[in-house]
Structure 1
Amino acid sequence: MPSKTPKQAEKAVPASATRTSASRPVDGGRDYDARNLLVLEGLEAVRKRPAMYIGSTDTRGLMHCLWEIIDNAVDEALIGYGEKITIALNADGSLTVADTARGIPVDIEPRTGLSGVEVVYTKLHAGGKFGTGSYNAAGGLHGVGASVVNALSARLDVEVDRNSATWGMSFHRGTPGTFDGPGPDARFTPGGSLQKLKRAKKGVTGTRVTWWPDPLIFGPDMSLAPEELSNRARQTSFLIPGLELQITDARGADPVTETHRHDGGISEFCEFLAPDQPVTEVLRLQGNDSFTETVPMLDEETGAMLPTDVDRDVEIDIALRWGTGYDTVTRSFVNIIATPKGGTHVNGYERALTKTVNKALSSTRLLKNGEEITKDDALEGLTTVVTVRLAEPQFEGQTKEVLGTPAVSRLVAKVVESELGGFLSSNKAADKQQSRVVLEKVAAAMRTRLTARAQKEAQRRKTALESSSLPAKLRDCRSNDVDRTELFIVEGDSALGTAKDARSSEFQALFPIRGKILNTQRASIGDMLKNAECANLIQVVGAGSGRSFDLDAARYGKIIFMADADADGAHIRCLLATLFFRYMRPLIDAGRVYTAVPPLHRFELKNPKKGQEKYLYTYSDNEYQRTAAELTKKGIRFDDPQRYKGLGEMDASQLAETTMDPRHRLLRRITVDDGAAAEQVFEMLMGNDVVPRKEFLVDGAYRLDAEQIDA
């Protein structure tokens, strides 16, 4: 759904200002010496640029912090220590993660003179996962997770059960010290070290961490995503058979607890993920191998970084099964850390899968001479979980979304070719029957693809003969530069007239629609194509629709919905978003679909100060209140502000200045962070089933503040 982003194009800097800064330094430019240099000590860099370490400071960043701490406990379970992890979302806004693993070391680290707990929570790039032998395979390899969470917390308390004692330590925004009471608002005294709190039973070990996210970083109203937490906890329980993860949410009136434990491993995970009925049993492709990696290491004698060969062991475990459907589901992990954007392990798997199936098909009569399947043919209806475990994997960035270790691709491909090839060529009766069904399914997918391509080419030729021009209502632009061009989809012919005078015809095209288009969530593909508005929109975009959509063929770099700022306009934008989501989805995935944000109010100043604009525009009720208050405070008089109900109330110059000019306008980009969740939302709001939509509307009605209705 639409999400508010920074202004698509900031106000342009005047050319004169640019020339001045380039030709001569500003005042003080010559006063540049050592005292102008800023040195960020310890964790200051994390607080200065938190997004560099956790991706963002919104809900996603907050969830990343939680999983940094959970992953430390999971890494212990991964190597056999600890069978239970408890996660609590406490009523006071704090978060607690507890495990029954070995516990953070409490003895003194010789080089720093600090306890192991203080080193882990105050030193960046410190930990036991840098090839010291404590962890052969772990997700948190950068050594910044715990210390980053500490730096971004108003308060963090650590308790460690180890050596028959319970040890404790507290921090305030990364600084060790003591609090004189509970919670982050208690008085804090800097200084102090790890303290022995009490005796513990012999043999009892583990770590408990409680922290309050800093509202200065995340904002006071930022909250976690319980559903995302539950999904990932379930995922982790699949990846580590026998590990129990318990989540308690105590923020509501009644605490809610859920427990995840799955002893079937990734075979059970594969069955859980599969959206269709099985064609084969779950196949496990497993193997161990090693490779030599050259990494720079510090020579303590010379102080130089010398290339050193290091042997790496790799464990490969893949679960897959073909189903009756057509959708492909692939989940990949490195040391149980999800890699949603894949990487070398997924590349090796897909390459070997295609090669192995092609080789098996060549020994049958299912393919004609010269025919070959593609990766998409082999993946049709296939659900796969790819996991690899190795020490010190190379990730792209701290968020670990892509594996970059090159040698893993070759090793995964080797295991897949050996194990899957053995299954497809097996003489066992059960295996032989299943492999035959798989090969027939893949061959059918190839024939369907070739038939669809032939029909597509024929339809293109037919369309070219039948229609030699674009829809007459389109007001096209002159430029052919796709990266620069923009298509405004305008509500109504009346708004088109104003927009035609307001646009820059060099790169901005206009296409009007007559009110509310067809709801494509309910309609069939045939009904959608018969609808003139939908068919014309697809023709204007010029890239096809559905599975045949070709993003590179799109005629415009940006698609912008421009409708009135009222309920009908919102409905039109929703209908357009539904059309693009269902039939031109790659445009949304590429971030090329936007909604224009016209202003809601205009202030006309009676006595503007020198250099001040005569007209001011506001885009929300809150901004309107702030602007009115500021003008009144400064003694600037203004007429009763105008409330725009539609685009037709603005003349061309106003529309250009506020909504179409890239130097001043505000756009909202339509994005999809979670495709499955987006599908559910569109189905609920726009689909045929009335009951969920009614429940959503009734629930929203009870939560609506009637005072906020602008009527």
Structure 2
Amino acid sequence: MTAEYSAHHLQVLEGLEAVRKRPGMYIGSTDSRGLMHCLWEIIDNSVDEALGGFGSRIDILLHPDGSVEVRDKARGIPVDVEPRTGLTGVEVVFTKLHAGGKFGGGSYAASGGLHGVGASVVNALSERLDVEVDRGGKTYAMSFHRGEPGVFGGDGPASEFRPYEKSSELRVVGKAPKGTTGTRIRYWADRQIFTKDAAFDFGELEQRARQTAFLVPGLEIVIRDERGEEPVETSYRFDGGISEFADFLAPDAPITDTWRLEGTGNFSETVPVLQPSGAMVPTEVQRECHVDIALRWGTGYETVGRSFVNIIATPKGGTHQQGFEQGLMKVIRGQIEANARKLKVGTSEKIEKDDILAGLSVVLTVRLPEPQFEGQTKEVLGTPAVRNIVASVVSKELGAKFSSTKRDDKAQSALLLEKVVSEMKARISARTHKETQRRKNALESSSLPAKLADCRTNDVAESELFIVEGDSALGTAKLARNSEYQALLPIRGKILNVQKASISDMLSNAECAAIIQVIGAGSGRSFDLEAARYGKVILMSDADVDGAHIRTLLLTLFFRYMRPLVEAGRVYAAVPPLHRVIAINPGSKPNETIYTYSEKELHALLTKLTKSGRRWQEPVQRYKGLGEMDADQLADTTMARDGRLLRRVRMQDAEAAASVFELLMGSEVAPRRDFIVSSADRLDREAIDA
């Protein structure tokens, strides 16, 4: 550091240097999530082509050498020369930031890509990227090394690379069949950028591919994973589009068919338009917004919704979701007012949004050119005109369903109105009961469960609640904890499987009720995150199969009834060690205690000690449960903030746990039987305790 600060201290990063210097700005992180983000930047370009009606199949190949390849049969990247840069279209797309065909030039009516940085960012963060394009009866090829065009001497990223010295070249490497167009991209992620453990997640790839196939009817997405001993291949194609998506998402039995609401609306907006001279001129343009909604109501109370703009997921909603809810409220309220006597609804009873959304499964999609998002993450749509267009389509199309003379539509509409009214009456009844209980509790002294060992601090952000498996571990944990900010709640064995239990069974279960009471924020829709008594909730179970089962049961309880706690990232799993190795030091030097957390880590440690000529005490201690540790060991490895390892439960982890739990422990027997039969060959007999 120096006190002097002048212009020669400033750095200007040219081209793709900025991407390599600050990759997190473009892909979020450099772990597996960032690696997957790069892959989806390439796939989404092919999906945008399919969205425009070009190409009906996308192939994704995960190669054994760590590279990934994406193939499509779309129009192919332009190979002619872009006049302002003097470079071919292929080189412009892969080397220039904010360059592409999605800025309103007419090549895409609606697309997921907006900023023109996707392909060039992936290229900058790749050790090697090869692209082949079929156009005009020829196959063109170009290779890049960390964003720089050139020629490799062989296969793979380790082969000799020779950059172009004067001018780059888009090589013609073969002939393409007449009328065949398309693009093939294969790249090796740069290990100088990404962490060592970053890897492509096949399960996440399947989930996103399935979602995309739902959104683009007729598009087939094939994923082939060649990294294991045997290749794994799966494909998705849904001709029914979002109607099938809504049925797939629905967690309950239907009371209505899946209704499809479609319509369009026009609006004008003033946006900067690039002129041939290179200047940006504010221009009023006419836009068309296409609305497509699939929705159905079921017997449950949970609301499951997904919203998309073009193919971009908008998990935090935006103007399209506001318009949907506005139109839905208007139609349902109007129908209930018109049938108030028949439905026995009083004038003082008002329908609220939650009454209508109970049991609703909906997929909401809008398509429009150049949508405006709030922030870089594209999670919230901000285009104001979309709200009124969506509300108008919902009012018109849903109103037509209620006024239909078809027998099925009339029967289903009547059932839906009865369900909404019953939800309203249940809500009013619950509120009355709650107010009565509050008045009653004000006169009585309420107390927390006797088995709770609470902490002293009143600072919620500092406090931690450990949910401990078994009373034996509780005794050790009491001695190991810091009672200033760490509270303990023991549970006996495995709690109720709330995946298939009713809410009344859950509330009457002593363990579930104790957890909800101790956290103090309610449950279900009445859950109030601000009222939670602890900043962290940590699940501390044994490092065995039963401990994992208990942790999954607890996660399912939190996911079903205290979801905002999981969404806020305040639920964690403790990671207790599996082994304790005492490495013997020569002479009077005290021996070293080392903890390992897996069999692989243990073998690596013992190999390292052997190579360095050190011995260890035999036998190596294997912890069968938390109760086998003394207080100091438990504190050092699992509870003390300066030495422990916590695993944060993210929302996608909870969703995966719930879906697996529904498969293995839910009320549907057939999927579980199919799973057992199909997975029998994968069973490792050596892993079974006998």
TM-score (normalised: structure 1): 0.81
Alignment of 1:121 with 2:97, yes or no, is no
How big is the shift at 1:414? 2.9
One-letter amino acid of the counterpart of residue 188, structure 1: F
Partner SS state of residue 652, structure 2: coil
User: Alpha carbons of 1:417 and 1:199: their partners in 2 closer, same or farther (altered >3 Å)?
Assistant: same
Q: Is 1:161–1:167's contact at 8 Å kept on the other side of the alignment? A: yes
Measure, in 2, the Cα distance between the counterparts of 1:201 and 1:515: 66
Look up the match of 2:39. Answer: 66
Mapping of residues 225-244 of structure 1, within 5 Å: 225-244=201-220
Alignment of 1:677 with 2:650, yes or no, is no
Look up the match of 2:640. Answer: 661
Deviating more after overlay: 406-415 vs 218-227 = 218-227
Look up the match of 2:570. Answer: 592
Look up the match of 2:382. Answer: 404
Measure, in 1, the Cα distance between the counterparts of 2:335 and 2:687: 64
Deviating more after overlay: 208-217 vs 115-124 = 208-217
User: Alpha carbons of 1:514 and 1:351: their partners in 2 closer, same or farther (altered >3 Å)?
Assistant: same
Measure, in 1, the Cα distance between the counterparts of 2:65 and 2:238: 31
Look up the match of 2:28. Answer: 55
Mapping of residues 4-19 of structure 1, within 5 Å: none
Unpaired segments ≥5 residues, structure 1:
1-27
Measure, in 2, the Cα distance between the counterparts of 1:429 and 1:146: 52
How big is the shift at 1:136? 2.4
Deviations 1:488-509 (A, max 9, x none): 2334556545544544433322
Mapping of residues 668-707 of structure 1, within 5 Å: 668-673=647-652, 676-684=655-663, 702=684
Q: Is 1:271–1:282's contact at 8 Å kept on the other side of the alignment? A: no
Q: Is 1:142–1:398's contact at 8 Å kept on the other side of the alignment? A: no
Q: Is 1:283–1:321's contact at 8 Å kept on the other side of the alignment? A: no
User: Alpha carbons of 1:636 and 1:48: their partners in 2 closer, same or farther (altered >3 Å)?
Assistant: farther
Measure, in 1, the Cα distance between the counterparts of 2:249 and 2:456: 48
Alignment of 1:186 with 2:168, yes or no, is no
Q: Is 2:32–2:197's contact at 8 Å kept on the other side of the alignment? A: no
Look up the match of 2:519. Answer: 541
Partner SS state of residue 339, structure 2: coil
Look up the match of 1:197. Answer: 173
Q: Is 2:50–2:56's contact at 8 Å kept on the other side of the alignment? A: yes
User: Alpha carbons of 1:310 and 1:575: their partners in 2 closer, same or farther (altered >3 Å)?
Assistant: same
Q: 1:416 aligns with which of 375, 386, 394?
A: 394
Deviations 1:260-308 (A, max 9, x none): 444444445445544533524623231222131455989979x8x8866
Measure, in 1, the Cα distance between the counterparts of 2:676 and 2:108: 52
Mapping of residues 137-536 of structure 1, within 5 Å: 137-191=110-164, 192-218=168-194, 223-250=199-226, 260-275=236-251, 276-277=253-254, 279-280=256-257, 282-294=259-271, 309-365=284-340, 366=343, 367-396=345-374, 400-425=378-403, 434-458=412-436, 468-492=446-470, 495-514=473-492, 517=495, 528-536=506-514
Measure, in 2, the Cα distance between the counterparts of 1:128 and 1:214: 27
Deviations 1:643-690 (A, max 9, x none): 473656666566545443334432222233065532232245556868
Measure, in 2, the Cα distance between the counterparts of 1:147 and 1:211: 12
How big is the shift at 1:341? 3.4
User: Alpha carbons of 1:546 and 1:441: their partners in 2 closer, same or farther (altered >3 Å)?
Assistant: closer
Q: Is 1:341–1:401's contact at 8 Å kept on the other side of the alignment? A: yes
Measure, in 2, the Cα distance between the counterparts of 1:568 and 1:417: 52
Alignment of 1:104 with 2:77, yes or no, is yes
Q: Is 2:585–2:592's contact at 8 Å kept on the other side of the alignment? A: no
Measure, in 1, the Cα distance between the counterparts of 2:240 and 2:550: 48
How big is the shift at 1:425? 4.4
Measure, in 2, the Cα distance between the counterparts of 1:322 and 1:525: 19
Q: Is 1:672–1:678's contact at 8 Å kept on the other side of the alignment? A: no
One-letter amino acid of the counterpart of residue 186, structure 2: T
How big is the shift at 1:186? 2.7
Measure, in 2, the Cα distance between the counterparts of 1:523 and 1:57: 41
Measure, in 1, the Cα distance between the counterparts of 2:601 and 2:229: 35
User: Alpha carbons of 1:53 and 1:464: their partners in 2 closer, same or farther (altered >3 Å)?
Assistant: same
Q: Is 1:100–1:206's contact at 8 Å kept on the other side of the alignment? A: yes
Q: Percent identity?
A: 60
Measure, in 1, the Cα distance between the counterparts of 2:674 and 2:170: 54
User: Alpha carbons of 1:411 and 1:608: their partners in 2 closer, same or farther (altered >3 Å)?
Assistant: farther
Q: 1:620 aligns with which of 573, 580, 597?
A: 597
User: Alpha carbons of 1:359 and 1:499: their partners in 2 closer, same or farther (altered >3 Å)?
Assistant: same
Measure, in 2, the Cα distance between the counterparts of 1:522 and 1:322: 19
How big is the shift at 1:388? 1.2
Partner SS state of residue 54, structure 2: coil
User: Alpha carbons of 1:263 and 1:648: their partners in 2 closer, same or farther (altered >3 Å)?
Assistant: closer
Measure, in 1, the Cα distance between the counterparts of 2:398 and 2:316: 24
TM-score (normalised: structure 2): 0.83
One-letter amino acid of the counterpart of residue 307, structure 2: S
How big is the shift at 1:58? 4.2
Deviating more after overlay: 171-180 vs 290-299 = 290-299
One-letter amino acid of the counterpart of residue 124, structure 1: L
Deviations 1:574-601 (A, max 9, x none): 4544443444343233322223334553
Measure, in 2, the Cα distance between the counterparts of 1:342 and 1:185: 45
User: Alpha carbons of 1:544 and 1:60: their partners in 2 closer, same or farther (altered >3 Å)?
Assistant: same
How big is the shift at 1:572? 4.7
Measure, in 2, the Cα distance between the counterparts of 1:626 and 1:251: 23
How big is the shift at 1:169? 0.8
Q: Is 2:264–2:288's contact at 8 Å kept on the other side of the alignment? A: no
One-letter amino acid of the counterpart of residue 349, structure 1: F
Q: Is 1:162–1:205's contact at 8 Å kept on the other side of the alignment? A: yes
Partner SS state of residue 673, structure 1: helix
Q: Is 1:98–1:209's contact at 8 Å kept on the other side of the alignment? A: yes
Mapping of residues 598-637 of structure 1, within 5 Å: 598-599=576-577, 600-601=579-580, 618-620=595-597
User: Alpha carbons of 1:239 and 1:606: their partners in 2 closer, same or farther (altered >3 Å)?
Assistant: closer
Q: Is 2:507–2:513's contact at 8 Å kept on the other side of the alignment? A: yes
Deviations 1:136-183 (A, max 9, x none): 211111111111222233322212222342221111222211122233
How big is the shift at 1:72? 1.5
Q: Is 1:295–1:310's contact at 8 Å kept on the other side of the alignment? A: no
Measure, in 1, the Cα distance between the counterparts of 2:370 and 2:139: 31
- Higher RCO structure, 1 or 2 (CA under 8 Å, sep 6+): 1
One-letter amino acid of the counterpart of residue 306, structure 2: R
How big is the shift at 1:529? 4.6
Measure, in 2, the Cα distance between the counterparts of 1:545 and 1:155: 51
Partner SS state of residue 114, structure 2: coil
